[in-house]
Amino acid sequence: MSANKTAPTAVDPAQFISAVSHPTRRADAEVLLRMMEEVSGEPAVMWGPTIVGFGSYHYKYESGREGDASAIGFSPRAANLALYGLTIAPTAGPLLEKLGKCKRGASCLYVNKLADVDLDVLARLARDGYRYMTGVVHHSS
């Protein structure tokens, strides 16, 4: 029934972030929390045990699988910061070239620390990703 195992929880995102043991990762997560709240206009919500998400969108695939996911978000992992929803907007390509030191995954962006990237470009990626995922998102059939 539940297509997406990562669902919103009642955990306080600020409490989750305050428990991050790595000091740089914790400080960066606090910056991302404020930035993503500002660009999305949405309060932070924990999606599953480790993803801080902002806004949501509904998806449905040809296979019939469907569910809800956070529009944008991040996870302060031990090795890096995983950023979600920032690479999908049509404007992402040129912005990613200006972002700085990062790695791209299938649908994620990995950053070792925020000091490695341009925060203004990151905020634009987050804003554009949020708008794209919550506005004119169409999954092709």
CATH number for position 57: 3.90.1150.200
Residue 23 lies in a domain: yes
Structure pTM? 0.88
Residue 7 lies in a domain: no
Domain count, the chain: 1
Radius of gyration, alpha carbons of the chain = 14
Q: What CA–CA distance (Å, rounded) separates 29 from 113?
A: 10
What are the DSSP calls for 65-112, one per residue?
-EEEEEEEEEEE-SS-EEEESSS-STTHHHHHHHHBS-EE-SSEEEES
Residue 87 lies in a domain: yes
For residue range 62-113, list pLDDT tens digits in order.
888 888 889 999 999 989 999 999 999 999 999 999 999 999 987 899 999 9
Band the pLDDT of 4: cuts 50, 70, 90. low
For residue range 7-26, list pLDDT tens digits in order.
788 899 999 999 999 999 99
Residue 4 lies in a domain: no
Residue 97 lies in a domain: yes
User: Domain containing 89: what range?
Assistant: 13-134
What are the DSSP calls for 31-56, one per residue?
HHHHHHHHHH---EEEETTTEEEEEE
Provide the residue type at 83 as one letter: L
Residue 141 lies in a domain: no
